[in-house]
Amino acid sequence: MSERSDRSGPFRSLRVRNYRIFASANLVSLTGTWMQRIGQDWLVLQLSDDSGIALGLVTALQFGPTLVLGMYGGVLADRYAKRRVLVITQSLMGLLALVLAVLVATDGVALWHVFVLAGALGSVAAVDAPVRQAFVSEMVGPELLPNAVSLNSTIFNGARLVGPSLAGLLIGAASGDTAPAFFLNAASFAFTIAALLAMRPGELHPSPPVARAKGQLREGLTYTWAHPDLVLAMALAFVVGTFSFNYQVTIALMAREVFDLGAQAFGLLSTCFAVGSLAGALLSTRRSARPRQRFLVGAALVFGLFTIACGLMPGYVAFAIALVPAGAAGLVFSVANNSFVQLGVDPQVRGRVMALYFTCFMGGTPLGAPVIGWLAENLGAPWGFIFGGAVSVLAALAAAAWLARGRRVRVEAHVVPPRLALHVGPRAGGRLPDVP
């Protein structure tokens, strides 16, 4: 009984020592990262007279390098020891956070400093993200991978729950000074570095390294293109990630422009979104198999509808409440998409395919964030939510139509418990093939 519970429990991956110490350190480091994100957004608003365009631009600079360096990070993940690469990237990210903290603390910071450091941080993160994602499978093995991916999201959103509130309190207590948040983030990277160095190499499950050769980037692209299920997941990740996952821009603008509130209230709104995200991540820990394609489509549709609802809320309290289900729906979609891709690739190309996934999911932010910022600044902050949600809904409907080509489709909506089911029948004149 207890053995079966251990195999199927929501926290089963934490029985693996290497993953347990990494996850614990990651919670501390990610809390610092969220503090920096809130501090950085607030600092940009302070230095730019509440410019939505400037906020979108700094977000674009932080995620833009993914377009250029993300696939290279995947090559490094497949070619070199992932633990060693992560020690280097985490050290560099901590150093960049420290530089920003010192600039703010000495009153020497200018807006262009924030832009340059955001771009530098994004460049390192573009390499770090695919390596870190591919490293999860080496810590826990393929059997526990779906659970570990969900737990990673739980940790990420647990940190998002604490980090923004802590950042808001620190910035408020320091009369608007963001330096304390940056100093704490710089220190937090030491925990992850220590955890990586403390791991037992003999308990890892490394995939065979890929020898250095020409055409390895192209090989990852060719592999993905040959698998239509991966192409669908990448397309959804790109559209939804580009236009709908811009909450760091839209929530900040709602707090400042619509509700005329300070840093503490901004942090509280981010925490509300994190509460929903944490709930969505915990729900996802129940999954032990690869999600189906129609689940990805349904999750994107529901997330888009909740995002639109956020933009239609009439007041601060209603908006804060609406952020909770929106956060949950967004996390269910992103965890399912991540698991779908990781569990559908060969280990030898996992790093490159995951790099392509992150390029799609986060690399479109340089395009989407300035657009959302411009809409919010010129038409009003709620339109950032409405437009982003509408794009997600349209993408989900287009994906559903693509899956339903020549098939009988039935959509069922359930109010209690809330559930949206998409049933795809067999193709006309033939049996239904197995669709993951």
- For the segment 261-272, what is each residue's pLDDT rounded down to a tens digit? 766 677 778 778
| pLDDT band of 116, cuts 50, 70, 90 | very high
More confident position, 302 or 245: 302
Short-list 27, 51, 64, 350, CA closest to 157: 27
Planar angle of CA 85, 90, 95, nearest 5 degrees: 130
Per-residue DSSP letter, 256 = I
DSSP label at 107? T
Asked if 148 and 73 count as a contact pair (C-beta separation under 8 A), the reply is: no
Determine whether 433 is exposed, middle or buried from the number of CB atoms within 10 Å of its CB (0-12, 13-18, 19+).
exposed
Question: Tell me, what's the pLDDT at 380?
Answer: 80
Residue 434 has what pLDDT? 37
209 versus 360: which is more confidently predicted? Answer: 360
Q: Per the structure block, which two tokens stand in for 204? A: 């890892």
* Residue 144 φ/ψ, nearest 5 degrees: -95, 0
| 407 phi-psi bin (left φ>0, alpha ψ -120 to 50, beta other) | beta
Distance of CA 92 to the CA centre of its chain: 20
Q: 285 vs 65, which has greater pLDDT?
A: 65
Cβ count within 10 A of residue 213: 8
**pTM exceeds 0.85:** no
Which has the higher per-residue pLDDT, 49 or 20?
A: 20
Give 122 or 407, the one with higher predicted confidence. Answer: 122
Q: Determine the pLDDT at residue 5.
A: 43
Amino acid at 32: G
Whole-angstrom distance, CA of residue 219 vs CA of residue 203 = 30
Residue 396 contacts residue 371 (beta carbons within 8 Å): no
pLDDT at 99: 94
Residue scoring higher pLDDT (198 or 71) = 198
Contact 185, 44 (CB under 8 A): no
Integer Cα distance of 384 and 233 in angstroms: 24
N-terminal to C-terminal alpha carbon distance within the chain: 30
Average pLDDT estimate for 92-112: 92
Residue 433 main-chain phi, psi, to 5 deg: -70, 160
pLDDT at 308: 93
More confident residue, 377 or 403: 403
323-370 tens-digit pLDDT: 999 988 988 888 888 878 877 787 777 777 877 887 787 766 667 777
- Return the closest-CA partner of residue 61 out of 44, 85, 38: 44
Answer yes or no: is pLDDT of 156 > 50.
yes
pLDDT-derived band at 207 (thresholds 50, 70, 90) equals confident
CB 239 within 8 A of CB 361: no
Cβ burial of 169 (10 Å; 0-12, 13-18, 19+) is: middle
**Rounded to the nearest 5°, which phi and psi values hold at 410?**
-135, 130
What is the pLDDT, as a whole number, of residue 98? Answer: 94
Could you tell me which residue, 412 or 229, shows the higher pLDDT?
229
Average pLDDT, the chain: 80
Cα–Cα nearest to 386, from 328, 307, 303: 307
Q: Where are the alpha helices (DSSP H) in 285-431?
A: 293-312, 316-342, 350-363, 365-379, 382-403
Please tell me what DSSP assigns to residue 410: E
Residue with tokens 């280097």: 88
Residue 431 has pLDDT above 70, yes or no: no
Query: What domains are defined for the chain?
Result: 10-423 (1.20.1250.20)
Q: Tell me what pLDDT residue 366 has.
A: 66
Amino acid at 203: E
Please name every residue paired with 424 in a beta bridge, in sequence order, or none if there are none: 409
Cα 311 to Cα 36, 184, 259: the distances in Å are 26, 33, 13
Judged against a pLDDT cut of 60, whether residue 199 lies above it is answered with yes
Phi-psi region of 236 (alpha: psi -120 to 50; beta: other; left: phi over 0): alpha
CB-based contact 414:421 (threshold 8 Å) = yes
pLDDT of 428 over the 90 cut:
no
Specify whether the CB–CB gap between 140 and 16 falls below 8 A: yes
- Which of 4-8, 40-44, 283-287, 407-411 tops mean pLDDT? 40-44
pLDDT (average), residues 95-117: 92
pLDDT score, position 436: 36
Residue linked to tokens 């000074």: 177
- Helices 263-284 and 145-173: crossing angle in degrees, nearest 10, is 170
Structural contact between residues 313 and 258, judged by C-beta atoms closer than 8 angstroms:
no
Question: Using one digit for the tens of pLDDT, what is the confidence trace for 222-257?
Answer: 888 888 888 898 899 888 888 888 777 778 778 777
Any idea which of 25-34, 87-96, 267-276 has the lowest mean pLDDT?
267-276
For residue 43, give every residue at least 6 positions away whose Cβ sits within 8 Å of its Cβ, in sequence order, or none: 104, 109, 114, 178
